[in-house]
Amino acid sequence: MNHKVQEHVRKGDKFVDDGKYEEALLYYEEALTLEPNEPDLLNKKGVALRSLGRYDEAIECFNKSLKISPRDLDAS
């Protein structure tokens, strides 16, 4: 993961810790524009979406993560 992606993830994680899932989602989506096939980013986005009650979108993220990395226990 490059430095810019890590910066977005750090900010997104901080917002998740503060319960600000909409804001976190923005940072995770920005990170995914740079690394669209990163399973950890897809999982983080899925968690934020799930926390917002956007279950279908969350499931899509988790499924995409599993498709990329089938043994990813975080997405299962």
Q: Which domain holds residue 37?
A: 3-68
Q: Looking at the domain assignment, is residue 49 inside a domain?
A: yes
Q: Looking at the domain assignment, is residue 40 inside a domain?
A: yes
Q: Looking at the domain assignment, is residue 76 inside a domain?
A: no
Which CATH number is 23's domain given? 1.25.40.10
Which residues contact residue 36 at a Cβ distance below 8 angstroms, ignoring those fewer than 6 apart? none
Collapsing DSSP to helix, strand or coil, 72 comes out as coil
Q: Looking at the domain assignment, is residue 25 inside a domain?
A: yes
Alpha helices in the chain (DSSP H): 3-17, 21-34, 39-51, 55-68
Which residues contact residue 4 at a Cβ distance below 8 angstroms, ignoring those fewer than 6 apart? 34
Q: Looking at the domain assignment, is residue 31 inside a domain?
A: yes
Domain total of the chain: 1
- Whole-number pLDDT of residue 1: 76
Q: Looking at the domain assignment, is residue 57 inside a domain?
A: yes
| CA pair distance 28, 47, nearest whole angstrom | 10
pLDDT tens for each residue of the chain, 76 residues long: 799 999 999 999 999 999 999 999 999 999 999 999 999 999 999 999 999 999 999 999 999 999 998 775 655 4
Query: What pTM does this model have?
Result: 0.89
